[in-house]
Amino acid sequence: GVAATVKHFALNNKETNRKHADSRCSERAIREIYLKAFELIIKEADPWSLMTSYNVINGHRASENADLLNGILREEWGYEGMVTTDWWTYGEHYKEAMAGNDIKLGAGYPERLMEALEKGLLTREAMEKCAEHILGMILKLE
C-alpha cells in the first residue's frame, strides 16, 4: 500500500539555512497562520504519516518539540498516526522519541537510544508509543 506524508511540520517557510534557522514567532501567529492548514488536514483527512521540519521554532528544534508534537498534534488535535523526521535532521534521536517523533530518517542511532534509556533520559513508555505508531502504519499498509 501507499500512504501520503504531510510535511513539513511546522513553520518551514524557507529553504536557505533551513536546518539551522530559528523561526521566531508568537503563539498566536503560529496557531492562526502556520498551524491552521495542518490542523485542518489532521482533523479532516486523518493522514497516516506526518514529517517534521528541519528548522528550530522559538529555540526548540521542530523534531524535538514535545509541545508541538505530543501537545498540539496528538493531544489537542487527536492525531494517532506516525511522525517521522526529515532526512538527516540534526535533532538528538532520544529527544525526538520523547517528543513524539516515531522514526528518525536517514540514520537512526539505536545505541544512543539504549544509552538514553539506561540513563533515564528516554522512557520505555515513549519507545513503546513510537513502536505502536510505526506498527499501526505497517498494518494499515497491508
Closest CA to 27 of 63, 60, 75, 74: 60
For residue 70, pLDDT over 90 is answered with: yes
pLDDT of 66 reads 98
The catalytically annotated residue of 22, 46, 67, 86 is 86
Between β-strands 82-84 and 49-52, what pairing exists: parallel, antiparallel or unpaired?
parallel
* Residue 69, domain CATH: 3.20.20.300
Domains: count for the chain: 1
pLDDT of 108 reads 79
Closest CA to 65 of 14, 113, 107, 12: 12
Q: What is the mean pLDDT of residues 59-67?
A: 97
pLDDT tens, residue by residue, 103-113: 999 877 889 99
CB 22 within 8 A of CB 59: yes
In whole angstroms, give the CA distance from residue 113 to residue 97: 9
List the domain range (segments joined by +) for residue 63.
Answer: 5-141
CA atoms within 13 A on the CB side of 12: 19
* Catalytic residue list contains 86: yes
Q: Tell me how crowded residue 52 is: count the other CB atoms within 10 A of its CB.
A: 29
Q: What is the mean pLDDT of residues 5-27?
A: 90
Residue 1: pLDDT band (50, 70, 90) is confident
pLDDT of 56 reads 95
pLDDT of 18 reads 80
pLDDT of 109 reads 82
* Of 68 and 18, the one with more pLDDT: 68
pLDDT of 13 reads 82
